[in-house]
Amino acid sequence: MLINRNKNKNQFLNKIELSTKNSFNNYHSFYKSQHWERYDLRKKLYIKSNLFNFRNNKLSDGLDDQNSLKSIKKNYRKLIKITKKKFLIKNLLNKNIGNLKNFETYEGKILDFGQLFFIYWLYLLKQNIKKTNFICEIGSGYGGFAEKILRNYPGSKYLIIDLPEANFLSSYFLSKNFPNKNILLAYEKKREIIYKSDFDKYDIIIIPPWFKVRGIKFDLFINTRSMMEMDKNIIFKYFEFIQNNISDKGYFFNVNRYFKNTVKKPLKLIDYPYDNNWNTIISQPSFQQRHIRILLTQRSKNPKKSIQEEFKKIKKITEKYFLKEKSNKIPFYINIYYFVKRRIYLGYKYLRN
């Protein structure tokens, strides 16, 4: 049943809370990397009454770039030279959803630190992609970038695949930004499968990673700064999903670190399992985050600038960050702590079932 969210706001909050509890009860721990296990202690926060303040009560920690007002102003001045003022102001938030404390107002709109990166990424996409029908974002966080995409590509259908903790926030954030869009939550599906026909009724579908997707070819896949926090086997699983479910000439927007060491087996960006059918459209450092690479690739049987050739060019940069982050390796006793913690959790879950 579709919901008019202007009349049934409380009912939708109940659905968000119920969907999250259901996902927690059916959690497939395979998809949670060591990086995200450290946030498990926040589980008591995932109740609907905490959503109003989710950007200042620790719920968005790890999913939300926040910084000082000084940093916001400084980076705003730098970004406006790239995108121009009209584009930047147009894409700022209209409301302070989540009750963030550190923000600036420009022409009646809300600017926080994290939005600067979203708007820069959007600027790059708008220069290269004019229209999309189906978009899949893997790792949407609280939905900040999804909000920009949905406003700039009207009519597009949007699938979000993320851990239940993030889906709890994005369901709320996107419902508040788009009260007239119909959103399907995971628990509303009797079977853990999403079909193309589901988008006949819904504009946005939000699911955990263990759901299956059938019969949809996506024009654009997005992953920004979350594959770098996944274990290697999860990244490989997502690449298989992307390369099997992308449309002809579809795009993959990949924004991740050259190297990250907070996961079980650290993986370099140049080791991501792209097949031979990707043409490189954009390859450059991210705005104000030079340790992060932006890659926009397009599906092609005869790529003029293959991603493998691009990886050869950025190999030296990768090695530089590899050596830098390797020197900051997490102490072995921290890794032991999370290993033991996970084993206890899995044992508890087994006995409970």
Determine the average pLDDT of the residues in 104-117. 94
User: Measured between alpha carbons, how far is 164 from 144 in angstroms, rounded to an integer?
Assistant: 16
Q: How many CA atoms lie within 13 A of 294 on its CB side?
A: 17
Give me the percent of the chain exceeding a pLDDT of 90: 76
pTM of the model: 0.89
Question: Does position 349 have pLDDT exceeding 50, yes or no?
Answer: no
Q: Which two tokens stand for residue 248?
A: 């002809």
Per-residue pLDDT band at 353 (split at 50, 70, 90): very low
Q: For residue 297, name the pLDDT band (cuts at 50, 70, 90).
A: very high
Q: Which long-range contacts (CB under 8 A, 24 or more apart) does 239-242 make?
A: 239/272, 239/273, 239/274, 241/213, 242/136, 242/138
| Percent residues over pLDDT 70 in the chain | 87
Predicted confidence (pLDDT) per residue in 113-136, tens digit: 999 999 999 999 999 999 999 999
Q: Over the stretch 31-68, which tens digit does the pLDDT of each residue have?
A: 887 777 766 657 788 999 999 999 999 899 888 989 89
Across 193-334, where does the E strand assignment appear? 193-195, 204-207, 212-214, 218-224, 246-257, 278-286, 289-299
pLDDT 10s digits, 182-216: 999 999 999 999 999 999 999 999 999 999 999 99
Q: Hey, what domains does the chain have and what are their CATH numbers? A: 9-26+131-352 (3.40.50.150)
What's the whole-number average pLDDT of the chain? 89
Residue 5 has a pLDDT of 44
Distance from chain centroid for Cα 74: 25
Separation between Cα atoms, residue 176 and residue 53, nearest integer Å = 13
pLDDT at 341 over 70: no
The residue written with tokens 């004019």 in the block is 130
Distance CA 101, CA 96 (A): 9
| Mean pLDDT of the 222-239 span | 94
